[in-house]
Amino acid sequence: MREIFFLSDFGLADPYAAVVKAVMRQIAVGVVIHDLAHNLPPGDLHRASYILYESVPYLPKHSVVLAVVDPGVGSSRRAILVVGERLCYVAPDNGLLTLAYLQDPPRKAYQLENPAYHLPRKSTTFHGRDVFGPVAAYLAAGVEPHRFGPELPVSALTRLPIHLHFGNQGEILTFDRFGNAITTLLATPGQLRGKTVRIRYHRIPVATHYAEVPVGAALAYIGSAGLLEVAVHLGNAREQLGLKQGDRVDLLPYS
């Protein structure tokens, strides 16, 4: 049986994540379910997409990723199953898989319209329990992807307007719990040589690790996913530099 990796914004102060897992275990007895993250800000699709970008390369081949950040639950947004090169994904088609597609290109996609694989009584607000969880469990148990509903061209999948690229101008994609800003700029050490980073009115030096700058000072560095990040040494860049998602980021010659 395939393993399931579960991402949601359900938090750990409510029963929702536990209920989805209990439903999956009753459908796919013995299935192993791992938590990816549950405590991201409610409805934050950028954060969800970044979490998948960072973790997908480390998940074992053939795993099922269940991703439920679903502010449009009950509306006409599609529910989808995406078969990638390495993994399968079950999620609302609201763009939260955008960066997963970069790590693991989609091969096939299906709409989850076959009610035989949903819970019999479907709520309008908790499709994690009633649709996505059951589909992930049946998929883990061996049901073939085309059984869940009609095929959808992968070109029709919803993508967020996030452009990860090598270059000199990007923006802040999201933040992590430490308040580090993750940007849309891919970077290599060679490319950063002799450069400085500008965000708002801040000029931020490039470094290789936190301790290279004094405590309380800002630095830019290549983060663990290969993206340029901005942090404050033993501090919180988001709060201390007043940064916001979408802020423009420029790589400038150091002078």
Q: Which residues bind its own copies (CB under 8 A)?
A: 5, 10-19, 21-23, 25-26, 34-43, 47, 50-52, 54-55, 58-60, 71-76, 123-126, 129-130, 176-178, 208-212, 221-224, 229, 234, 236
Residue 250, beta-bridge partner list = 169, 198
| Beta pairing class for 218-222 and 79-84 | unpaired
Q: How far is the CB of 124 from its own copies (least distance, A)?
A: 4
Residue closer to its own copies, measured from CB, 15 or 115: 15
Q: How far is the CB of 212 from its own copies (least distance, A)?
A: 8
Residue closer to its own copies, measured from CB, 147 or 233: 233
CA angle in degrees (0–180, nearest 5) for 22-24-26: 70
Extract the runs of DSSP E, i.e. beta strands, from the chain. 4-8, 33-37, 64-68, 79-84, 88-92, 106-111, 151-152, 165-166, 169-175, 181-186, 195-199, 202-205, 218-222, 227-232, 248-253
Q: How far is the CB of 19 from its own copies (least distance, A)?
A: 5
Instruction: With CA atoms as reference, report the closest residue to 4 among 23, 32, 39.
Output: 32
CA angle in degrees (0–180, nearest 5) for 226-231-237: 135
Residue closer to its own copies, measured from CB, 50 or 148: 50
Residue 175, beta-bridge partner list = 181
Annotate 199-215 with b (16+ C-beta within 10 A) or e (fewer): beebebebbeebeebee
Between CA 229 and CA 186 the distance in angstroms is 10
Residue 65, beta-bridge partner list = 5, 89
Q: How far is the CB of 164 from its own copies (least distance, A)?
A: 16
Q: How far is the CB of 72 from its own copies (least distance, A)?
A: 6
Q: How far is the CB of 102 from its own copies (least distance, A)?
A: 15
* Tokens 């990816």, located at residue: 36
Residue closer to its own copies, measured from CB, 158 or 236: 236
Q: Which helix (H) or strand (E) holds 239?
A: helix 237-240
Residue 195, beta-bridge partner list = 253
Q: How far is the CB of 103 from its own copies (least distance, A)?
A: 12
Residue closer to its own copies, measured from CB, 76 or 155: 76
Residue closer to its own copies, measured from CB, 16 or 108: 16
Residue closer to its own copies, measured from CB, 37 or 154: 37
